[in-house]
Structures are given as structure tokens and as C-alpha cells.
């Protein structure tokens, strides 16, 4: 079973090319991460962007220039251990593919940022249903009219993910996700999508639409896609990210990230 793999086992399948699909639901209980790689020359400004916007861009690990083995997964290689990458040149996507062994350059800095998969597991464990998981879909994501705090050349609107819930479950989900401040933490909004500039919940900017039942309200969390938009908001010569849903799986356990 995919979910019974541990992180190292899943990374081994990915590195050998046997696993090329999204990582959602795989190696349950291990922290997954968004990846951004960019030139050292821009690394301070991008790190500053993450520090200034901790809800969408919670920092799990930042590597020294040229390094590819993260402290949160000894033995891993960020150039080959994700199932799919995106390569951007001068702000435009150039290719999507299976490894970046010969594209990564020694002057690049790698950032690993938290992902909502961790608190989704905690929601399920707390008895809060998660619609996108129940429907076997990617979570609904929307570009909002809220601006992140810019840093140097980097800027981005806030991107959010949405999960519909009963009001009672929204309260419980707020309590549960608050503990996971390194994977987006508490919701940024609930109930009124128009206040975020979202006019049609059935038409997300990324991911899939999900059913919203009578009596449910939309609950919005800051989303790691924000970090990808920020990284390509300036036309850098080379930026590498994970492909959506194809995350880096670390050796950290979800519970390692809780504050309390």
C-alpha cells in the first residue's frame, strides 16, 4: 500500500523512476514540502519573502548554495527525489519533467516550504472529513486579491486552498491546524469568498472543484503555490520548482512540526 511506505522507501521508488505520480496520500504521516531552487544572487530576497509571509511560505529547510541533501532527509538528493519538476527560464516555464540532475547549477539555493498535506492527515485523525480526499481530487486553489508582503524583486498575490465544512467542523479544523504552524497553520479566512476576490468556487485557479453541500461554508488556508508564483514573479535566468502535487517527501513526521 502506498500509504504504508515510509519516506525513504517512497523516495527510492521516485529516484528509480517507478513512481512518477502525485505524492498526496503516500507515505502517510511524513511531512511533504514545496520546492523552490533559484540562483544564490536572489536567495536573500527570496528567503526574506518567505520570512515576511510565513503562512503561505513556512520554511522547513534552506540549503547552502550548491547543496542538494536537505537536513530533514539525510541521504536524499533534491535533484532526483521528486516525481516531477518544473523548470522556468526568465520567468517562463520551459519544461516539466522527471529530474533536474543536469539542470541544477552549483550556484543555486534550494528552499523546502511546508505543505497542507500534513494538517489534512491531522484533520482526518480528528474526525473532520476532507472533501478533496473523499472525492479523490486535488484540493481547490484560488489566486486571491490579497497581496503578500513583497521582498526585493519578489511579490505575489496570496494563493489559498479551500475545503468546505460544516461550521462545527470549521471550528475543529481551526483548532487542529493551528498546531501546524509550519504547514500553513490556522485558516486565513472562512465563509465569504468574495472578500478574497473569489467569485466562483466551482472554478478554481489550480486543482479541482469539489462539491459544497448545503449548510457548509468554505474554509481557506494559505497555500504553498504562493511560493512558486513569487519565485517566478521576477524573470530570473533559472528557477526550478516541484510540479504541482508532486512534492518532496521528508523524513520529518507530521507531529514533529507541532508547536504544542
Binding-site ranges for a copy of itself (CB under 8 A): 40, 43-44, 47-48, 51-52, 59, 62, 64, 71, 109, 149, 151-152, 178, 181, 185, 259-260
Of residues 27 and 57, the one with the C-beta less far from a copy of itself: 57
Of residues 46 and 220, the one with the C-beta less far from a copy of itself: 46
Q: Provide, rounded to whole angstroms, the least separation between the CB of residue 214 and a copy of itself.
A: 32
Of residues 40 and 77, the one with the C-beta less far from a copy of itself: 40
Q: Provide, rounded to whole angstroms, the least separation between the CB of residue 75 and a copy of itself.
A: 18
Q: Provide, rounded to whole angstroms, the least separation between the CB of residue 145 and a copy of itself.
A: 21
Of residues 51 and 101, the one with the C-beta less far from a copy of itself: 51
Q: Provide, rounded to whole angstroms, the least separation between the CB of residue 112 and a copy of itself.
A: 11
The DSSP annotation for the chain comes to: -GGG--HHHHHHHHHTTS--S--TTSSTTEEEEEEEEEEGGGHHHHHHHHHH-TTTS-EEEEPPTT----TTSTT--TTTSSS-EEEEETTEEEEEES--TTT--TTEEEEEEE-THHHHHHHHHTT---HHHHTT-PPEEEEEEEEPPPBTTB--EEEEEEEEE-HHHHHHHHHHHHT-GGGT-S-SEES-GGGGT---TTS-SBS------TT-EEEEEE-THHHHHHHTSS--S-EEEEPTT-PEEEEEEGGGG---
Of residues 213 and 259, the one with the C-beta less far from a copy of itself: 259
Q: Provide, rounded to whole angstroms, the least separation between the CB of residue 146 and a copy of itself.
A: 17
Amino acid at each position: 500500500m502506498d500509504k504504508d511506505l515510509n519516506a525513504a522507501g517512497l523516495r527510492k521508488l521516485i529516484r528509480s523512476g517507478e513512481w512518477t505520480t502525485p505524492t498526496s496520500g503516500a507515505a502517510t504521516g511524513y511531512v511533504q514540502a514545496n520546492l523552490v531552487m533559484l540562483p544564490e544572487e536572489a536567495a536573500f530576497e527570496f528567503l526574506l519573502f518567505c520570512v515576511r509571509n510565513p503562512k503561505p511560505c513556512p520554511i522547513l529547510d534552506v540549503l547552502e548554495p550548491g547543496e542538494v541533501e536537505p537536513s530533514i532527509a539525510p541521504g536524499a538528493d533534491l535533484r532526483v527525489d521528486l516525481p516531477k519538476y518544473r523548470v522556468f527560464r526568465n520567468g517562463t516555464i520551459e519544461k516539466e519533467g522527471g529530474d533536474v540532475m543536469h539542470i541544477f547549477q552549483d550556484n543555486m539555493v534550494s528552499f523546502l516550504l511546508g505543505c497542507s498535506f500534513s494538517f489534512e492527515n491531522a484533520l482526518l485523525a480528528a474526525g473532520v472529513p476532507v472533501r478533496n480526499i473523499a472525492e479523490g481530487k486535488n484540493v481547490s486553489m484560488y489566486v486571491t486579491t490579497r497581496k503578500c508582503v513583497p521582498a526585493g524583486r519578489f511579490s505575489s498575490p496570496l494563493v489559498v486552498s479551500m475545503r468546505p465544512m460544516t461550521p462545527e467542523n470549521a471550528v475543529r479544523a481551526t483548532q487542529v491546524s493551528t498546531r501546524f504552524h509550519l504547514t500553513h497553520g490556522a485558516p486565513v479566512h472562512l465563509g465569504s469568498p468574495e472578500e478574497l476576490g473569489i467569485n466562483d468556487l466551482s472554478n478554481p485557479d489550480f486543482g479541482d472543484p469539489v462539491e459544497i453541500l448545503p449548510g457548509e461554508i468554505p474554509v481557506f488556508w494559505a497555500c504553498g503555490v504562493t511560493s512558486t508564483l513569487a519565485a517566478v514573479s521576477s524573470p530570473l535566468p533559472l528557477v526550478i520548482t516541484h510540479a504541482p502535487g508532486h512534492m518532496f517527501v521528508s523524513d520529518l513526521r507530521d507531529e514533529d512540526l507541532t508547536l504544542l
